[in-house]
Each structure stands twice: as structure tokens, then as C-alpha cells.
Amino acid sequence: MPYDNQRAYDRLVFELSSPGRLAFSLPESDVPVEPALNALPAKYRRATPAALPEVSELDVVRHYSRLSQMNYGVDTHFYPLGSCTMKYNPKINEDAARIAGFARLHPLAPEAAAQGALQLMYDLGKMLAEIAGMDAVSLQPAAGAQGELAGVLMIRAYHEARGEKRTKVLIPDSAHGTNPASTALAGYEVIEVKSDAEGQVDLADLERHLGPDVAAFMITVPNTLGNFEPRVMEIAERCHAHGVQVYMDGANLNAILGITRPGDLGFDVCHFNLHKTFTTPHGGGGPGAGPVGIKSHLEPFLPAPVVAKKDDGYFLDWKRPQSIGKLQAFWGNFGMHVRAYTYIRTMGADGLRAVSDNAVLNANYVMKRLEAYYDVAAPGPCMHECVLSARKQKKLGVTAMDVAKRLLDLGFYAPSTYFPLIVEEALMIEPTETESKETLDAFCEAMIRIAREAETDSRGIHEAPVTTPVRRLDQTKAAREPNLRWRPRS
Ligand SMILES: *Cc1c(COP(=O)(O)O)cnc(C)c1O
């Protein structure tokens, strides 16, 4: 069979192995090997050498370079994954994060030797507080979901400090899935509040649940249908009248930067995803950063330590007797803090406002171009993302999953599918502010082409994807029984 250079990536590096081939060439060692080997007790020594791949340096470089080219990322392609905000990550953030004074600073360096890092964290907390209208921010949480957990634990500590026993947290059915999960983890019973026909919180249902046993109301803004909750201030007032704390899931602040602030809307707690709103990279499970902002009445409960400032510099304040405790081995994902700090400083206030203006414009542009072809989940205009439904296509035998797979062949990553759960055959599209009109048009044309194919050639869609390294996987098996380990043939 001819050597197929393009398909060489199909093989594992183990399968490239050739006995005796080496990835280095060094002069013969004049250090005796035996005494060193014998220093290790026999029971710890292998009977046979490890089955490592025997490959040349060039084999290794080509193998991993090819693998890296199979990667799909925002640096190579448009990535309209709704709720995830796959916006471009400016490279200047990376430059800053690689400055040796940041990148190589030991997390246990004495405060006097870490003043720059402490100042950066202190200032980033202040900037995020200003952006969100909050009084203080903890940078410790390593993800949005952990920010939620920290926020809910602070709410719990607050009620307990006042001698109040509250056991429930109210969450609308349009919330992000992490909201009920972190709430349950914090020991609360989750009560679902219904949405009305417009996808807004059903106020009568909310009122029915409010009472002295409710600790908090937790709402995703904008909600997962892509809409801003128009009665959010009234909701906060009604909750406060019952002593209920109001939590905003602000993972995506992309629609409201410089336009409104969670604190001004009446929220007591709000977390941010630096990896969504503030251009720190994400994907593949991390690293993330989910700082949490709070109003002053919750300050005593902040995770310890808190980065603080006194006359002669910055320090870690551990003397916080009411703190919910420490959330991380160290102080948070500091590299992400450097990137977000750099981003906010390079954008400035006007730049951040422009982010939201453009994110909302782009999402509405996509929604308008596609509404004649796909059903829209909630009447527009939308915020930074739009939710379509493939229910029309489903009648022709083409599901949201099929649309997603076909998009891969047409050169686009798929939108989020089947989320939010309250929309049948959901396709959640978040174009982000960093994409050009040309890119958005090309994406819309691909979506329109698929809608047409659904009417004429649905069989072809069911075949998709045909251009990717792997075709359709058994999604359940791929998630539940991942086969990630190579074993030598015996
Ligand atoms: C992404 C997201 C989260 C969860 O953030 P993680 O960093 O993945 O834990 C929570 N809420 C909303 C609205 C989100 O979009």
C-alpha cells in the first residue's frame, strides 16, 4: 500500500514504532550503568522493558504536528457554540501571561516578593466589581460552577449568621444547568420556577414559592433563551421583601458590559466567567476562572484569603473568622487573571461597551437571516445569542443533531444543541463580537443550505459528517465507555 502521508495521523505513535529506532543520538556514555540499576531493589525493577514507542525525532514531531492540525479551535474556525462564548483570545493576553515575573512566580513566594501579582489580583477584583456594580470580588473560583458554589455558600453563611434557617433556593426552568447543581451541592433543596410563554419568569409562580424558608433566588441573565428578563428589578424587590438573596449567573456578561450592571439591578451576588466574557481561553475542560462578586453585607463571608492593601503594599488577609474557607490549593487560576486583566486594560470602558454592542448586533443579525428557515425559540430581539429550533426540519426527518453534524462538513463548528432543555430541537447560536460580517454570512448560508437540503436530500444529511477524521460516534458509548488507553499486543 502506498504511504499515505495525509492519513498517517490515523495511526497511534505506538503503531509508528520500529524496533531499535531512537529519537536522539549521543556519544556512548562512560558512566557505568549496572551500579545505578542495582541501587533499586529487584522487586521494583521491570522484568521486561516498558513497551514505549521506538520512533525518530522526526516521527515524533510529524505525529504531534499532524495531531495539532486536527484540532478545531477559534484560531482556525468560527465557533458558534451557544452559552460557551468562543470568542477570539487576543494574543497580547498570552504575552502578558508569559512574562517571567508572573509565569514563574512561586505561589508560596513571600508577599514582599509577589507585590506585582498581588496588585494585579487586587486591581482585577476592583475592575470586575466596577463592571458589575458589586462591592467586592473573590478571584478564587476556578470555574463558573465553582463561583456559583462559592456564592451560594456565602448566602448560606449570611443567613446562618443572622440565625435564620432557610432550606430552599428558587431557580427558573430557563437557568443554566450548573445553577441547580451547585445549589444542591451547597446543601439546598432546589425549587423550579416556571417560565411563561415568552420565556420570562412566571411572577405568579415565583410569588407562590417565596417565603421565610427560601434562601435565594438564582437567575441566569440573559436567560438561556437568549433574552433579558425585563422584570428583573421587580423580581429582586419581591425577593428582598422576603429576606431572599438574589443571585445572578453572569457567566456571560457579553450582552450587558457598559450597558447595565448586576449590582444596579438589585443582585446581591454575581459570578463572572473570565473564560467567556474576558477572553481567557477555554475548551477541553479548562483552565477556567469564575470570580464571584458580592454586595458589602456578604463581605465577611468571602473565601479566605482576601488580597488586601495597606500603606506599605499588598497582602493576603487570612484573619476572616466568618469566611466560607478556602476554595483552591492556592489563590485561583492566576494565569487567567493576568489574561483578563490585560484584556480589560487594553479594551478600556469604551471598548468593553463596544463588545456588548457588537455581540448583540451579531446575534440578532444571525437570527434575522435564519428566521425564515428555522423556528425562533423566543420572539426577538435577542441578546448575545439566539436560540433556534429545528422542529420544522424534524418533521422532515432532520433533527438538530443532524444539522449540527452537517455543519461540520460545511466547515463550521456546531452550535449548542438540545440546550436549553425547554426548547424542542434547540440550536443555540452565539456568534460573539469578534466575527466579521463575511464570516457570519458564510455561516448563515451554510445553515440555509442545510434547511434546503432537509427538504430535498435529507439522506445526505444523515450521512454527515463525511470530511472529519471520525464519522458519527455512538455518543453514549463515547461518553460512558471512552477507550483512551493503548495496550501492547501480546
Ligand atoms: C458556562 C456557564 C456556566 C458554567 O461555567 P463553567 O466555567 O463551565 O463551570 C454557568 N452559567 C452559565 C450561564 C454559563 O454559560
Determine the atom of ligand 1 nearest the C-alpha atom of 276. 1
Between CA 407 and CA 443 the distance in angstroms is 9
Q: Are residues 166 and 130 in the same domain?
A: yes
- In this structure, is residue 485 part of a structural domain? no
Q: Report the candidate in 385, 405, 417 with the shortest Cα–Cα distance to residue 467.
A: 405
Of the residues 322, 346, 370, the one at which a domain ends: 346
Cell 487586587 locates to 122
Of the residues 21, 39, 69, the one at which a domain ends: 69
How far does residue 155's CA lie from ligand 1's centre (Å)?
A: 19
Three-point CA angle 397, 399, 400, nearest 5°: 160
Q: DSSP assignment, residue 311?
A: T
How far does residue 116's CA lie from ligand 1's centre (Å)?
A: 30
Q: Model-level pTM?
A: 0.90
**pLDDT at 1 (0 to 100):** 41
What strands lie across the sheet with 416-417, from one edge to the other?
375-376, 386-389, 426-429, 416-417
- In this structure, is residue 22 part of a structural domain? yes
Q: Are residues 134 and 243 in the same domain?
A: yes
Cell 509508528 locates to 16
- In this structure, is residue 79 part of a structural domain? no
Residue whose CA lies nearest to ligand 1 atom number 2: 251
Q: Are residues 272 and 219 in the same domain?
A: yes
Q: DSSP assignment, residue 27?
A: P
**pLDDT at 226 (0 to 100):** 85
Q: What is the dihedral of CA 199, 200, 205, 211, to 10 degrees?
A: 140
Angle between helices 334-370 and 437-456 (to 10 degrees): 50
**pLDDT at 213 (0 to 100):** 98
Between CA 46 and CA 209 the distance in angstroms is 65
Beta bridge partners of 225: none
Provide φ and ψ at 307, rounded to 5°. -75, 120
Cell 529487584 locates to 42
Cell 498517517 locates to 8
Q: Are residues 147 and 35 in the same domain?
A: no
Q: How far is CA 217 from CA 36, 70, 94, 256, 316, in A?
A: 64, 43, 37, 20, 32
Examine residue 482 and say whether the peptide bond preceding it is cis (omega within 30 degrees of 0): no
Of the residues 324, 346, 368, the one at which a domain ends: 346
3-class SS of residue 169: strand
Q: Are residues 256 and 116 in the same domain?
A: yes
**pLDDT at 73 (0 to 100):** 86
3-class SS of residue 290: coil
- Domain of residue 395 covers 357-478
Between CA 273 and CA 264 the distance in angstroms is 19
Q: Are residues 319 and 410 in the same domain?
A: no
Q: Are residues 471 and 334 in the same domain?
A: no
Q: Are residues 315 and 396 in the same domain?
A: no
- In this structure, is residue 297 part of a structural domain? yes
Q: Which CATH number is 247's domain given?
A: 3.40.640.10
- In this structure, is residue 78 part of a structural domain? no
Between CA 392 and CA 372 the distance in angstroms is 11
Q: Report the candidate in 345, 331, 326, 388 with the shortest Cα–Cα distance to residue 363.
A: 388
**pLDDT at 308 (0 to 100):** 97
Q: What is the mean pLDDT of each run of 10 residues along the chain (490 residues)?
A: 51 89 90 81 87 92 88 90 93 97 95 97 98 98 96 98 97 91 96 90 96 97 88 97 97 96 98 96 81 98 97 96 94 95 98 98 98 93 96 97 97 94 95 97 98 94 92 89 79
- In this structure, is residue 336 part of a structural domain? yes
**pLDDT at 453 (0 to 100):** 97
Which of 228, 248, 273, 387 to probe ligand 1 with, by most ligand atoms within 8 A of CB?
Answer: 273
Q: 423-455 burial string, b = 16+ CB within 10 Å, else e?
A: bebbbbbbbbbbbeeebbebbbebbeebbebbe
How far does residue 93's CA lie from ligand 1's centre (Å)?
A: 22
Give kind and range of the element (H or E) at residue 235: helix 232-241
Q: Which CATH number is 383's domain given?
A: 3.90.1150.10
Beta bridge partners of 137: 293
Determine the atom of ligand 1 nearest the C-alpha atom of 148. 10
Strands 189-193 and 136-138: unpaired
Total of domains in the chain: 3
- In this structure, is residue 442 part of a structural domain? yes
Q: How far is CA 90 from CA 74, 128, 444, in A?
A: 11, 19, 25
Q: Ligand 1: residues whose CB is within 6 Å?
A: 83, 143-145, 176, 178, 220, 249, 251-252, 273, 288, 290
What cell numbers appear for 352 in the block?
A: 468593553
Q: Are residues 32 and 109 in the same domain?
A: no
Q: Are residues 196 and 274 in the same domain?
A: yes
Q: Are residues 244 and 222 in the same domain?
A: yes
Determine the atom of ligand 1 nearest the C-alpha atom of 290. 7
Q: Are residues 217 and 111 in the same domain?
A: yes
Q: 274-306 burial string, b = 16+ CB within 10 Å, else e?
A: bbbbbbbbbeeeebbbbbbbbbeebeebbbbbb
How far does residue 144's CA lie from ligand 1's centre (Å)?
A: 5
- In this structure, is residue 487 part of a structural domain? no
